[in-house]
């Protein structure tokens, strides 16, 4: 059984993915979360908290999707991460990174900037660890960010380019 906080966060995530951050009003967000207005505000007392809850939920899903069931650390694991990110983009983020979109929608919100940095840092650290390239975290970040930012324009070609670039890290 799913707990109420997770149910709300999942519904909010779906609403922000489909409608963006500016469009959905509180009633649309309440409906997406499938709870009463009182319950929505109990768990997320402001629109800012709703955005943060949705993004925290998305982060957990993304980490699980990208990093579960990888080969042994090394080049094959890094390639699997890149393929998984491409699959995530195709299924979950065809318009681009939701974390960047949230910051773009509220550029003065320091909590969103911190969450974006934490999300990207966590992804980079995990990718460097599974790639067995702990000293190349910045390079891996540039490859992954290039993939996620170019996905809306290039789709699978972005995955192919990211894979080629990742192979260069081992030479």
Q: pLDDT higher for 7 or 2?
A: 7
The domain ranges of the chain are: 1-57, 69-170
Tens digit of each residue's pLDDT (9 = 90 or more) over 85-121: 999 999 998 888 999 999 999 999 999 999 999 999 9
Tens digit of each residue's pLDDT (9 = 90 or more) over 140-150: 999 999 999 99
- Does the pLDDT value for residue 1 go beyond 60? no
Report the candidate in 139, 140, 97 with the shortest Cα–Cα distance to residue 119: 97
Report the candidate in 110, 137, 134, 123 with the shortest Cα–Cα distance to residue 52: 110
Q: In the prediction, which pLDDT does 134 show? A: 85
Q: In the prediction, which pLDDT does 153 show? A: 93
SS3 22: coil
Q: Give just the sign of the alpha carbon dihedral 45, 24, 29, 57.
A: negative
Say if residues 18 and 11 touch (Cβ distance below 8 Å).
no
Q: In the prediction, which pLDDT does 165 show? A: 97
Per 3-state DSSP, what percentage of the chain is helix, strand, and coil (rounded to 5)? Answer: 80, 0, 20
Give alpha helix (H) positions in 34-136: 37-43, 47-67, 75-92, 98-105, 110-131
At the topology level, CATH places domain 1-57 in Arc Repressor Mutant, subunit A (1.10.10)
Say if residues 102 and 39 touch (Cβ distance below 8 Å).
no
Report the candidate in 164, 136, 161 with the shortest Cα–Cα distance to residue 150: 161
Tens digit of each residue's pLDDT (9 = 90 or more) over 65-78: 999 999 999 999 99
Tens digit of each residue's pLDDT (9 = 90 or more) over 16-40: 999 999 889 999 999 999 999 999 9
């Amino acid at each position: 059984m799913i707990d109420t906080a997770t149910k709300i966060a999942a519904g909010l995530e779906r609403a922000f993915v489909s409608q963006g951050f500016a469009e959905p009003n509180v009633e649309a967000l309440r409906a997406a979360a499938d709870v009463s207005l009182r319950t929505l505000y109990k768990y997320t007392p402001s629109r800012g908290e709703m955005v943060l809850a949705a993004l925290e939920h998305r982060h957990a899903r993304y980490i699980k999707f990208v990093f579960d069931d990888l080969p042994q650390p090394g080049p094959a694991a890094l390639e699997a991460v890149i393929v998984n990110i491409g699959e995530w983009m195709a299924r979950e983020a065809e318009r681009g990174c939701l974390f960047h979109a949230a910051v773009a929608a509220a550029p003065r919100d320091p909590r969103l900037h911190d969450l974006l940095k934490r999300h990207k840092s966590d992804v980079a650290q995990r990718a460097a660890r599974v790639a067995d390239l702990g000293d190349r975290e910045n390079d891996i970040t540039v490859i992954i960010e290039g993939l996620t930012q170019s996905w809306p324009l290039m789709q699978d070609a972005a995955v192919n380019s990211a894979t080629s670039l990742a192979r260069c890290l081992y030479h």
